[in-house]
Chains A and B, each alone.
Chain A
Amino acid sequence: MMSEQGGVPDLLLEQYALGELGAVEKARLDSLLESDPGLRARLAELKASDEEILAELPPAEIAASIRRRMLVAGEPGGPGKGRSGRGPRFLSARALAFPAAAAVLVVAGAMMVRGLFPTPSADRVLAKGGAPGLLVYRKTDSGAELLADGARAAAGDVLQIKYSGGSPRFGVIVSLDGRGRITWHLPSEYGDSAPAGPVSLAPRLESPGATLGSAYELDDAPSFERFFIFSSSDDFSLSVASKILGVLSRSPSPAEARPSLPDGIECKSFLLLKDGRPR
């Protein structure tokens, strides 16, 4: 709003900082800034506020959240249409011509939250008071179907993942395939690449749950694709999940083995079997 002294309105100062003022207004503010230390302090506060907001609300996470909202609102795609360079397995809803399916997913998801879609899988993952769980849908010709834990799937299947969770928590969703490759679904920026360093933190999960902003196409990795949601009431580094899955992938039976979890981390998983038994 207006400054306490009734001086330069906040909007003008915001636009000055953004470089969006016209030449005349910019020249006036340049002059005022030279002579008014209070105005300089306001501009410095604004820039500091920008840095705080960007640190607290990373743009990539906000963009992902907005994509989810667009999907929930029946709007395909979102701001990240044509996702950047994270491999062909992540597909935007627009690229898949998936709007009808997306709408079905939203409706189906809402029904299940209310307990009106009593499949065993939904009951299990949406158990009250438990850690966040996963729901996995597969695109069909007429919409989407909810898959059961342990269901058969094949290369080319297009999946949409939804997570559920009640209390405020932080979490990540990752999958491990039969080749031992890890794919990051939430946050989605990393694709098949490991997050850089321990400073990358798990995002806050939405309550009571959300549908991920991108559909996911299964590739031809053999045996299985196993999805995990790791969560905690405190934020944690993505490297925690990387380490857990690294150990799990080297186990004799990564499709079925129980992951070894550090204190404070909870996990639920969802298995899809591909062309036969898991190794």
Chain B
Amino acid sequence: MVLRRYRSLLKDEEKARDAMQDTFVRLLKGRDRLTGEAPSSLLYCIATNVCLNAMRSEKARPASAGDEMLEAIAGSDDVEAEGQARILAEGILEREEPSTRTMAVLHYVDGLTLEETAARVGLSVSGLRKRLGALKRRSKSYLGEGG
């Protein structure tokens, strides 16, 4: 699942394999604080966040449908996510939330409903809506719909 996620977002097999291993390294660094609940949601969110950071730092250009939105989310000025993204990259752990950008990808790009997204990032629907609303205001050109 993790490798497929990286393949889908990074479009580069070598980078995908490298990122996959890096994800587990980061996860294991924080293993003492892992809760053991919903490991797939956890890994999926970490992978998403790592991809967003890679796209942001390398200015990678995604190439398929829906990727313009992904690129916009990756490049959004998500100030609160900067700190959280770092935390997430070190292992999304108990009581730590995924970045809003990751939530936005799950909802806007992956197509999860608000309820499905909220369940996977540990927020209430209203809390998620609020976070996405703030991000949407900073990324009006691509995120004008939904939410």
Contacts and interface: CB of A to CB of B under 8 A. Distances in A.
Interface of A: 1-3, 6, 9-12, 14-15, 18, 20, 22, 25, 46, 49, 53, 57, 62, 65-66, 69-70, 73, 75, 78-79
A69 B19 CA distance: 12
B3 A70 contact: no
B29 interface: yes
Contacts of A12: 112, 116
Nearest to B119: A22
Contacts of A1: 8, 66, 109-111
B86 interface: no
Given A11-B112, A20-B40, A70-B28, 11 more contacts: A1-B109, A3-B111, A10-B8, A11-B41, A11-B110, A12-B116, A22-B119, A53-B3, A53-B4, A62-B21, A75-B28
A111 to B, nearest CB: 23
B21 A6 contact: no
B22 A15 contact: no
Contacts of B8: 1, 10
A15 B41 contact: yes
Given A9-B116, A11-B106, A15-B41, A66 B1 contact: no
Main SS of chain A's interface residues?
A: helix
A225 to B, nearest CB: 30
Interface residues of B, number: 25
A9 B110 contact: yes
Interface of B: 1, 3-4, 8, 17, 21-22, 24-25, 28-29, 38-41, 44, 66, 106, 109-112, 116, 119-120
A11 B103 CA distance: 13
Contacts, number: 67
Given A1-B109, A66-B24, A18 B116 contact: no
A57 B17 contact: yes
- Give the residue among A2, A11, A65 with the most B Cβ atoms within 10 A: A11
A65 B24 CA distance: 11
B40 A9 contact: no
Contacts of B111: 1-3, 6, 9
Given A11-B44, A18-B40, A75 B25 contact: yes
6 contacts: A1-B8, A2-B66, A11-B40, A20-B38, A53-B3, A70-B25
Contacts of B22: 69
A70 B3 CA distance: 19
Contacts of B116: 9, 12, 25
A46 B28 CA distance: 26
A14 B40 contact: yes
B4 A49 contact: yes
Contact of A73 (B4, B25, B112, B120): B25
A146 B144 CA distance: 60
A10 B39 CA distance: 16
Which 5 pairs across A and B sit closest by C-beta, in order of nearness? A2-B111, A9-B111, A14-B1, A9-B110, A69-B25
B106 A66 contact: no
B25 A14 contact: no
B16 to A, nearest CB: 11
Point out which of A1, A14, A15 has the most chain B C-beta atoms below 10 A from its C-beta. Answer: A1
Contact of B21 (A10, A46, A66): A66
